[in-house]
Amino acid sequence: MNASNIPPPQAALSVRDLTTTFLTAKGRVTAVDRVSFDVLPGEVLGLVGESGSGKSVTLRSIMRLVHAPGTIAGQVMWRGRNLVTLVDRDMRQIRGGEIGMIFQEPMTALNPVLSIGVQIDENLKTHTSLDRAKRLRRAIELMELVGIPEARRRLDDYPHQFSGGMRQRAMIAISLASNPKLLLADEPTTALDVTIQDQILQLILELKSELGMSVVFVTHDLGVVASICDRMAVMYAGRIVEAGPVNAVFAEPHHAYTRGLLGSVPHAGAERTMLLSIEGTPPSLAAIPSGCAFNPRCTFATDICREAIPAVSSIGSAHLVACHHHDRVAVAGGLRV
């Protein structure tokens, strides 16, 4: 989401009007609807929202991993090239080379019939000029880098021989094999227990600093956003409805959906009260409401919300929101949506 279509010159990744549609039995549905955002060098951007809001499809669209009957339109500018229109040969060099991706569920993303060492070696063989001996040394280095003990021996193990946390670390090792400058992380800690989740988050932050990467981190956990992200973008029904620095959005949300998400999170040290909730469920992609897609679940909604898609408004220099009544939402404070 950007009030202007001119990307800031310092952006490492600049996404403009990214739109992804799928042809289904119920007709054409839009999973990502004119999404725009920027990722600065060395920045962690959190992409937040309920399941089905379009977060994962956004990352897959950036990587051109959406295939027929899906179509991608818009601009994804990376190092002066639009990834949406790039020929497949050049895209294969960027995918896994310049841009790495951690998928949501490692047990399904990793190949079950190939050892972890072979899967790391595939990346190195494709994106580096290292010979076999150097690739082996690099694979061991990567395994040690992500905290897998007895790395040399475990290169020959298969995904099912790793625990959930170790599989996630192995996937991170594969995604980092070619020292990418951008890492797309699709809920990499969702299926892990709290202790392992914290270890993975700290590992990503350490590797970001060590390798100078930018990170787009998809999650529905606002606690994770608060702990590791510099900026955040909130998605609903395929659109970004609010974006800005994490501190600014947490302190004063201007969209009712963001406000509802924050209100449902327990706060340490606060007086014991009932958690708030957002009534209703996200809409089907085949039946997105007219106007603001959130209007059926929003108590701030008026006729204009049901008739017109809200334009993007700037709140200060870096806080953006798409809401007809964002001033009312901000003033309302922590009450129910």
Instruction: Name which of 152, 140, 212, 214 is nearest 177 in CA terms.
Output: 140
Residue 217's beta-bridge partner residues? Answer: 46, 185
When mean pLDDT is compared over 98-107, 192-201, 209-218, the highest value belongs to 209-218
Distance CA 221, CA 189 (A): 10
Number of domains in the chain: 1
**What pLDDT is stored for residue 150 in this prediction?**
93
* Residue 120 located in a structural domain: yes
* Residue 304 located in a structural domain: no
pLDDT exceeds cutoff 60 at 8: no
* Residue 332 located in a structural domain: no
Percent of the chain whose pLDDT exceeds 70 = 92
Which pTM value belongs to this model? Answer: 0.88
**What pLDDT is stored for residue 32 in this prediction?**
96
Taking the chain, what is the end-to-end CA distance rounded to the nearest angstrom? 23
Where does the pLDDT of residue 26 fall: very low under 50, low under 70, confident under 90, or very high at 90 and above? Answer: confident
**What pLDDT is stored for residue 9 in this prediction?**
52
**What pLDDT is stored for residue 263 in this prediction?**
81
Q: Please compute the mean of the pLDDT values over residues 141-150 and round it to a whole number.
A: 89
* Residue 131 located in a structural domain: yes
The parent domain of residue 118 ranges over: 99-177
* Residue 129 located in a structural domain: yes
Residue 100's beta-bridge partner residues? Answer: 183
Q: Which two tokens stand for residue 226?
A: 């608060």
53-96 per-position pLDDT tens digit: 999 999 999 999 998 889 999 999 999 999 999 999 999 999 98
pLDDT exceeds cutoff 70 at 51: yes
Distance CA 291, CA 179 (A): 43
200 vs 304, higher pLDDT? 304
Distance CA 117, CA 115 (A): 5
CA distances from 77 to 86, 89, 159, 316 (A): 10, 17, 34, 25
* Residue 295 located in a structural domain: no
pLDDT exceeds cutoff 50 at 336: no
Average pLDDT, the chain: 89
SS3 62: helix
Quote the crossing angle between the two packed helices 132-145 and 116-127, to the nearest 10°.
120
pLDDT exceeds cutoff 90 at 231: yes
